[in-house]
């Protein structure tokens, strides 16, 4: 039995910045709704004081062919949430579970496979972020380095901007910005894209203009719309998505990746045991 079900809520949240004020009022209802109500276009138009045409435009901005298709998907995944939380442990676990559910809903397998191909083909990979996103970038470097990817993480704003000068068609640039508005990250992606590099942004917000300079937009769940989301590390949704990407990557050409990984582990063990020639000399 498959536990996770595709949900429309994270799709609404990731496109929230692109909505008009009227469309945001529609989005707010679907994000916060906890009741089983009549969802026909006529009933919703009356309930929200909007036109049926506005409902249709809202649904299309979310990637659906129309409001009817949107509502069908929404009804399939609507579950009344139990808001009575009896302790901090239960609260934290509920938030983590909601993030996992939302991550599942945002995953596009075809996109993940494309990114894996970019990682295999790139001569150099730079993954960049500042603050908590920088810590996630460092974690990504440590994990993919073990599989033979020529990957570097950058957390310093000045270095991020300097790196934009040296990119070309052999590079893959990965920027991590939950808000999608980190100026240094966006600058690096724009300039690298101009020079022919592959570019990818990991973000919780699709601003609409990202596609102009990003070959891939890897969406992650946002803590912004979640009850008690402020007590959860902002790295968590990034790391979950990176774990998914990593699992797909190591699954492909598994034998070669395993040999790389075993070689790295062997080198580390020998160094700890004092067998490293550089140490003995």
Sequential pLDDT tens for the chain (281 residues): 344 556 788 889 888 988 999 999 999 999 888 888 899 999 999 999 999 999 999 999 998 999 999 998 888 766 544 444 456 676 777 777 788 888 888 889 999 999 999 999 999 999 999 988 999 999 999 999 988 899 999 999 999 999 888 899 999 999 999 989 899 999 999 999 999 999 999 998 888 789 899 999 999 988 776 655 566 778 888 999 999 999 999 887 665 555 656 666 666 677 677 755 554 44
The residue written with tokens 């009356």 in the block is 46
Q: What is the end-to-end Cα distance of the chain in Å, rounded?
A: 58
Any long-range contacts for 89-97 (C-beta under 8 Å, 24+ apart)?
91/228, 91/231, 92/228, 92/231, 92/232, 94/228, 95/226, 95/227, 95/228, 95/229, 95/231, 95/232, 96/232, 96/236
Closest C-alpha to 184, from 153, 215, 170, 163: 163
Closest C-alpha to 140, from 131, 128, 130: 128
Strand 151-154, strand 124-128: pairing: parallel
Three-state secondary structure of 182-244:
CHHHHHHHHHHHHCCCEEEEEECCCCCCHHHCCCEEEECCCCCCCCCHHHCCCHHHHHHHHHH
Find out whether 176 and 186 touch, Cβ atoms under 8 Å.
Answer: no
Q: Check residue 123 and give its pLDDT.
A: 95
Point out which residues pair with 126 in neighbouring strands.
Answer: 152, 173
Q: Check residue 202 and give its pLDDT.
A: 95
Distances 247 to 43, 67, 103, 211, 251 between C-alpha atoms, Å: 44, 35, 15, 26, 6
Domains, the chain, in order of start with CATH, read 9-77 (1.10.10.10), 110-267 (3.40.50.10490)
CB atoms within 10 A of CB 59: 23
The pTM of the whole model exceeds 0.85: no
Q: Check residue 84 and give its pLDDT.
A: 45
CB atoms within 10 A of CB 147: 20
């Amino acid at each position: 039995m498959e536990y996770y079900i595709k949900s429309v809520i994270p799709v609404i949240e990731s496109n929230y910045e692109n909505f008009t004020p009227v469309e945001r009022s529609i989005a707010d209802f679907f994000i916060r709704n906890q009741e089983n109500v009549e969802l026909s276009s006529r009933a919703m138009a009356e309930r929200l004081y909007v036109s049926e045409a506005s409902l249709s435009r809202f649904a299309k901005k979310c990637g659906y062919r129309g409001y009817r298709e949107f509502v069908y998907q929404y009804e399939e995944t609507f579950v009344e949430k139990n808001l009575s939380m009896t302790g901090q442990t239960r609260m934290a676990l509920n938030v983590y579970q909601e993030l996992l559910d939302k991550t599942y809903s945002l995953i596009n397998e075809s996109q993940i496979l494309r990114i894996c191909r970019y990682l295999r083909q790139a001569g150099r990979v730079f993954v960049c972020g500042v603050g908590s996103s920088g810590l996630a970038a460092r974690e990504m470097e440590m994990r993919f380095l073990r599989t033979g990817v020529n990957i570097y993480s950058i957390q310093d704003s000045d270095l991020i901007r300097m790196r934009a000068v040296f990119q070309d068609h052999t590079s893959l640039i990965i920027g991590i910005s939950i808000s999608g508005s980190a100026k240094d990250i966006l600058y690096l992606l724009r300039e690298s894209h101009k020079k022919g590099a592959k570019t990818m942004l990991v973000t919780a917000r699709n601003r609409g203009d990202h596609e102009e300079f990003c070959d891939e937009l890897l969406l992650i769940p946002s803590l912004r719309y979640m009850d008690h989301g402020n007590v959860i590390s902002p790295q968590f949704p990034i790391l979950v998505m990176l774990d998914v990407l990593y699992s797909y990557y190591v699954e492909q050409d598994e034998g070669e990746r395993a040999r790389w990984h075993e070689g790295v582990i062997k080198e580390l063990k020998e160094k700890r045991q004092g067998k490293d020639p550089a140490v003995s000399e």
